[in-house]
Structure formats: C-alpha cells, structure tokens
A and B are shown apart, each in its own frame.
Chain A
Amino acid sequence: MPDFVLTVARFGFLILLWIFVFTVVGVIRRDLFAGTRSSRIVAAPRGVGGAAPAGRPVAKVKRGKAARQLVVTAGQLAGTRITLGEAHITIGRAEDSTLVITDDYASARHARLVPRDGQWFLEDLGSTNGTYLDRAKVSAPTPVPLGVPIRIGRTSLELRT
C-alpha cells in the first residue's frame, strides 16, 4: 500500500469519526426542539370544557375567566392570597414550597397546581392523606374550576379571578 493511501485513510477515519459525532449531535438538536413540543402535549390534559373552536388559540378563548388568585379559605393560613402567574404552585410542608402549609395532615410535597393554556391543573404528589377537589380524591392531574375548594388536610384553597 502506498503511504499516501494510508495517510488518507488514517486522517479520513478521524475526520469521519468527528463527522459522526456531529451527525449525532445534529439529531439530538433536532430532537430537543421537537421534544419540547411533544413533552408539553404529553402532560397537557385538555380542560373539561376545552373543546375550543378550531383555528382559534385556546389561551385566547379562556383569557376572560382565567384564575388570577389562589386564596386559602380555611386552615391556619386562612386569608392568604397568592397571585397566580405562569409558574406552577407547589403546596406542602417542605420549606421550598410556594405555599408552605403547617398542617399535621399535609405531606412535605403534597400537591401542585400547574397552569396549561389558561387552565390550572391540580396534581397530587403522592401525599399520605390525599388531596381532594371538592369531595373527589385527586389521583391524576385534574382541571380546577373557579371557586371549587381544594382540600389538603385541614386547609382549603380556592381559585378566584
């Protein structure tokens, strides 16, 4: 074999190796952008009355009656108000919760409220004593209508405009 061919093969291999690496990175990159969209779909159960007319953005339809505040109606923190934004709200005894409730019947990370397209979803985080939406125990992400009490231990919460 002439030396020239060997040199070409030797460096060609290294270059191809890096081209492979960049191809893989390219696939990952494309996947990341597709991934953000699909993972949102995955976790986004549509609202109860979420049959938005086709062609109109869901958020726009619901803007009028979107919840603006989370109000504690019963329990030690009664009267506390949290203004709702885009971020999700965690509820529990852990100090880093958005709403820290000192309630013997609450778990450290008890429940969380997640906004999706203008609708808030209540999700139990594996609490010991359960989270109730009105009378029903919450076992999967559930849309929270306005004014319906969320019960965690002795604490009650409501979404208000």
Chain B
Amino acid sequence: MPRTHRNAELAMLLFAMALVAVYAATVEATVLETLTPRFWVPTALLTALFVALHMVVRFLAPYADPVLLPAVALLNGIGVAYLRRVDLARAEPDERIDLGLFSGVGGRQLAWTLLSLILAGVLLAVIRDHRIVSRYAYTLGLIGIVLVMLPAVLPASISEVNGAKLWIRFGGFSIQPGEFAKLALVSFFAYYLVRKREVLSLASKRFLGIDFPRGRDLGPIVAVWLFSLLVLVFEKDLGTALLYFGLFIVTLYIATERSSWLIIGLLLFFGGVYLAYVLGASVGGPFRNFYDRAQIWLNPFEGERPFNESYQLVQSLLGLGTGGLFGTGPGGGQPRFIPEVEDDFIFAGLGEEIGLFGLSALLVIYFLVVSRGLRAALAVRDSFGKLVAGGLAFTMGLQVFVIVGGVTGLIPLTGQTTPFLSAGGSSLMANWLLIAMLLRISDAARRPATGAAGGPAAAPGAKQPPAQLHGAATEVIR
C-alpha cells in the first residue's frame, strides 16, 4: 500500500494548534499581564474542529495531500487568535480580563470557522469524484456571473461598503458573493477550456518568437477581459477585476501551454488599467475611484493625505514599520490605530506584532499551500482536474499577492480579504471550500489507479481505462 501520510497530517495539525495556543497565551500575558485559566479554550475548540475535519479527510479522501490541512489550519488559527487580540485592544482596559471568549470579531470568526469546516466536510462527502462537477459547468458559470454582477446591479445602500460595491447586506449580515463566484467560475473556465483547447492551441502565428493565437480565437478572452473591466468600473474594485482576469488567463495558459496567452493577458490588463487611470484623471465618473486609489498608492505621504485619503495605507505602513524585523511581540502592538485591521489590513496588524520574520513565515505557508495545489494539478490524471486545481491554487496565490501587495504599498490597495486570516464569513467559507476541492483533487491525483484492492501492481491499468470527461482527453501523466 502506498503511504497516505495521514498521521503526518495529524501531527502537523497538532503542532499548528500548539503554535496557536502559544500565540494566544502570549497575547494574554502581554495585554492582561496575566494568564487567564481559560486562554486555551478557543484553541482547544479549533483543534477539535480541525481534528474532526482531519477524520473526514481520513475516511473520504485518504490519499489527499497531507500538507494542505495543517498549513491552512495554522493560518485560520492565527487569524482567530489575532482577532481575539483585536477585541482585547478595543475593550476598555478594566473590562479586558472579563471579555467573553465568544464575543466580538474573534468569537464570530470562531463560529464562521465551525460553519466553514462543516461546509468543507460536506463538499468532501458530496463530491466523491471531482469530475462530476463538470456536469454542472454551465450552471456554475451562470451562477458565477450572476454572483459577480449582483452587487453591481443592486442599489448602493445594500451593496456598497467603503466605496467598493462588492457586498450584499441584509439585516446584520453581509456576504461577499464574489468570493463564491471564484469557485464557480474556475469550474466553468476549466470545462470550457477542456472542450476548446484544441482550437485555442491549434492555430497560431509566430511573431517575435512567440506563438500568438489568431484574432478570432481571441473572442472568449476579450469577452472576459471586458467583463472584468466592467466589474472594475461598476464595483469600483481593481482587485476583483485582476482576480477574475488572471484566473482566466492562467487557466488558458495551463490548458494550451502557450506563453503567448500570458503576454497578451498582461498587456491587456496593464493597458486596461492605464486607460482607467487616464480616464479617471480626465473624465472622472466611474473611473474616479480607481484614479484616487492609484494616487494614494503613488504618494501616500504627500501633503495632508496621510490624515485623509491615504490614512489607511499610511497607518498600515507605520504598523509594519513599528514591527520591524521581529515585531513587538504578540499583544504588543497597537491594532486600534490601523483601520479595518480585522479584515483588509490584518496583515499589517499581524506584521506589527510578529515582524518581518513572522510575516515571511506566513507568506511561505501560503506559498506552500499554493504549490501543493499546483502539484495536485500536475499529478491529477484528467484535464478538467488539472485546470480546476491549477486555477484554484493560482487564484488563492493571486489573492494573497493582491492584498499583501496592497497593504505593503507594492501595488494600489484594493479591498480583498486575506485568505483564512481576515474576519468574514464569506471569505472563510469560500476559501475552505476551495481547500476542500483541492483536497479532493489531490486525493484523486495521489490515489493509485488500480484502487485500494490489491496494491498498485496487481491489476494492469490498461484494463481499467480512466473515465473520460465528456469525450475530452484524459491525460495520463508521465
């Protein structure tokens, strides 16, 4: 029997939870100057939840990648612990010691984690083979586009938060439908490209040593490009536009293995962004918001700006600067001074407390999660699975880049959540669904082709042809 590494997964999971406990304890010791006897309760709950999901994986996806779950659990755990730390900072000093464990954003994040993990478990239980998703590809594509467009169409009173129309608010709840749209769109793109990849990679003209596809094959990419620019205009959000556009380009690239798509995509994106910038400067209107953001990014410290428009970015940069190399220690920072520290700017808030040293560890963990996703894409034996896993892993990487780049001033800041760290139910749920899908695909990729019955060498694979995906090519990896 090939090794499944499930025990390694459990061990790493417990290690991750120990780290979260250390973080929570240090926070209490710093902020409260004492260790309350119940500091471990949120961590213990998280541990129970993750171990439960680990058990689900053990039974439903026994060959899944052992790294994904513990790495993501660490990020999620640190997120919950940091959000509790933000609650402590916001409470009155004499009330801090009695602050309820389940109040505030930290408590809510714990509840969202519970819900997200249940969803992830359900997804693993319902989708036993990732290829069945392709049956609903067009439905998912439609759902994805509706979810993306919904906030743009709804009145601003329902959908607008901080200048970006990305939300649907009702009652005390607000959800970000775009987060879920990612998953639906990846599945749709993957299905579409599996069907069309012959056409896209067949005809091309060679120019400057690169294969460029013919004009008429550019149709779908131009359509999605326009669509993502529409999102940018109506929802006033560069990040989301970049996310959907990058997603499509990369799935195209994976499907056709032509680097020309990447070049065309980058040219189109930068062209579009530059046009939006120029239009924002001259025409204004819907492009104005983007122009303002670009100005904030270019000169955050100019004139009165640090006290007005670029207040968020400047506070974020100052927070990161205060943290320096090793940070002020968990609980030692001043998260109250960073606006939106619980969602968009959580990376700056964490950076103040764990420093560059800690932040780079978190970034490496993101990198490892993404690389494991891409590894699953490489190893899985059907094209649809390859495209879905590659697309999902890349989307997560791009999202981390967009928000961390924005918070650190590398690129213009846009409102994206930091996957697994930020407070927010929709982001957490969508990203856990993403991880569940990656677990499912990596399970398919690593499962011996002959099934568990008699070991890999017993039954010849030639007698069990891999299932075909609606007549599309089923690749056997070398």
Contacts and interface: CB of A to CB of B under 8 A. Distances in A.
B475 A1 contact: no
A1 to B, nearest CB: 5
A154 to B, nearest CB: 19
Given A140-B466, A141-B462, A126 B472 contact: yes
B354 interface: yes
Nearest to B353: A10
A58 to B, nearest CB: 11
Contact of B23 (A7, A13, A42, A128): A13
Interface residues of A, number: 50
Interface string B38-67: 000000000000000000000000000111
Interface string A5-19: 111011111101110
A117 B381 CA distance: 20
A23 to B, nearest CB: 6
Contact of A14 (B5, B15, B354, B462): B354
Nearest to A142: B462
B368 A14 contact: no
Nearest to A127: B473
Contact of B30 (A6, A45, A107, A143): A6
Given A14-B357, A28-B372, A94-B201, A9 B461 contact: no
B361 A27 contact: no
Contacts of A24: 12, 67, 70-71, 365, 368
A34 B3 contact: yes
B303 interface: no
B446 A38 contact: yes
A46 B460 contact: yes
B284 interface: no
Interface stretch (B124-132, B326-334, B420-428): B326-334
Interface string A68-84: 00000000000000000
Sorting the interface of chain B by its residue count into under 10, 10 to 19, 20 to 34 or 35 or more gives 35 or more
Given A20-B19, A21-B361, A38 B354 contact: no
B202 A1 contact: no
A20 B70 CA distance: 10
A125 interface: yes
Interface string A114-135: 1000000101111010000000
A108 interface: yes
Interface in A64-118: 88, 93-94, 107-109, 114
Contact of A42 (B29, B365, B461, B474): B461
Given A1-B34, A6-B26, A23-B12, 14 more contacts: A1-B29, A10-B26, A10-B329, A13-B330, A16-B18, A17-B362, A38-B456, A42-B476, A45-B461, A46-B460, A46-B462, A50-B460, A94-B202, A109-B198
16 contacts: A6-B329, A9-B329, A17-B354, A17-B358, A17-B362, A18-B357, A24-B368, A34-B3, A38-B2, A43-B476, A45-B462, A126-B198, A126-B471, A140-B464, A140-B466, A142-B462
